[in-house]
Amino acid sequence: MTATDFDAERGYDDDQFSAVEVFRSDRMKVVCGYFQPGQFIPVHAPSSDVAIHVRSGTGTVRDGETEHHVEAGDVVVVEADTDRGVKADDDSSLEAMLVTAPPPTHAEHEPVREGLQRDRFDPHTRES
pLDDT of residue 4: 79
pLDDT tens-digit series, residues 56-99: 999 999 999 999 999 999 999 999 999 999 999 999 999 999 99
Domain locations along the chain? 16-118
What span, in angstroms and rounded, lies between the C-alpha atoms of 41 and 88? 9
Between the alpha carbon of residue 128 and those of residues 19, 74, 122, the distances in Å are 21, 24, 6
pLDDT tens-digit series, residues 7-65: 888 888 888 999 999 999 999 999 999 999 999 999 999 999 999 999 999 999 999 99
Residue 128: pLDDT band with limits 50, 70, 90: very low
Q: Which CATH class is domain 16-118?
A: mainly beta
* pLDDT over threshold 70, residue 126: no
What span, in angstroms and rounded, lies between the C-alpha atoms of 6 and 19? 11
